[in-house]
Structure 1
């Protein structure tokens, strides 16, 4: 069984218009944030921080606009102390890394034809995790100033915690024959839900990591 196989027959018909509506709202929200950042000049210290906010709209939809307006347009470096932000804001880099990893990993795995135990799901979960770790490590390295080793370690811990929700959601869909083929808009809507599940399971790890500095203070 693979992502090109027609599955998900038990899913309701109304899920298709809902998926299209939410998907279009997500793209529109991402465009609004992108225009605000790159056209209206509300720039951040790093490109990865900017991409995080644009990418967050791909799974949060219009809710990303609310968070961006409240926290994303703060002067850089942020005027608000870290512990004043809700943990969901600090979880957005992981969510964006996962969303972008899906956009890269899903077509890549389908094109490769690789499977494990007769399904490409396991390959897909692994590839998405690796890509997400790489993307998140770049964010940790460039935005938070972590060393490469520290950035990779923090990214790996975050993605593992994140995948409890995201990977668990994908497995739940797969083993209940609810996974749609990747060409179906319902598939991407279900993946958006999975990213949100990942935010929930990854939040404790993110909360713990933000209490630990990404880099040691520089000696005077």
Structure 2
């Protein structure tokens, strides 16, 4: 049994994420600030869910759609910081969704989430994150064809894979530390709020660690376009 203070802290962190989620849902769907690219609505909702109130501020500054004609005309002159926040948030959403989907699925399929199987969980998390990135690219393009699936795969490999990998490595490093050192007993399992609290911390670490990789990828793309 986890100590009471840790359970309380875990529930508080998760609650902060859900409140932040509700704020962005209300702003997006009740106040009508819809994203021009619909998958970005999912990206921002996922981002505030694991980062919490700090991500609401990021959403407020950079995530709102270009609602006015003037702002749409100025989209090309968007500050680099805004581009970076949006880009890292998108890659982070892939990783966060991959983490949730894979961990829940693997937990349901096996009897025990023992520490010895962490590598198997990490493989599932990573593959799920890449698959979700491909799915987001695919549904974000008009039409549905086999050729577009291949285009989505190649786009993710060229544009997002390095950033996703950096994010995942930081997440896995923290989860390993959490399982073996920070919260060794009882073992962290998806049926405990402490597991998801540890996941929040790991995802935030991934967001920070992915920033340099994202900067490098954006500079590389800009160099190719020049």
* TM-score, normalised with respect to structure 1: 0.81
Give 1:88 shift: 3.8
1:140-159 → structure 2 map (5 Å cutoff): 140=137, 147-148=151-152, 149-159=154-164
Give 1:59 shift: 1.1
Query: Following TM superposition, where does structure 1 have runs of at least 4 consecutive aligned residues deviating by more than 4 angstroms?
Result: 114-118, 140-146
Matching of residue 126 in structure 1 with residue 103 in structure 2: no
Matching of residue 160 in structure 1 with residue 168 in structure 2: no
**C-alpha spacing 1:188/1:153, structure 2 compared with 1 (3 Å):** same
**C-alpha spacing 1:202/1:144, structure 2 compared with 1 (3 Å):** farther
Is the CA contact 2:35–2:65 (under 8 Å) kept in the aligned structure 1?
no
- Which residue of structure 2 aligns with residue 98 of structure 1? 95
Name structure 1 gaps, 5 residues minimum: 1-5
RMSD: 3.0
| More displaced stretch, 110-119 vs 174-183 | 110-119
Give 1:113 shift: 1.7
- Which residue of structure 2 aligns with residue 192 of structure 1? 200
Measure, in 2, the Cα distance between the counterparts of 1:141 and 1:129: 18
Give 1:26 shift: 0.5
Give 1:142 shift: 5.7
Give 1:114 shift: 8.3
Give 1:120 shift: 2.8
Name structure 2 gaps, 5 residues minimum: 143-147
Higher relative contact order (CA 8 A, sep 6+): 1
Measure, in 2, the Cα distance between the counterparts of 1:69 and 1:116: 38
* TM-score, normalised with respect to structure 2: 0.79
CA deviation profile, 1:67-108 (whole Å, cap 9, x unmatched): 111111140657352514273442111222122112211111
Give 1:31 shift: 1.5
Matching of residue 109 in structure 1 with residue 100 in structure 2: no
Structure number with higher helix proportion: 2
| More displaced stretch, 34-43 vs 122-131 | 34-43
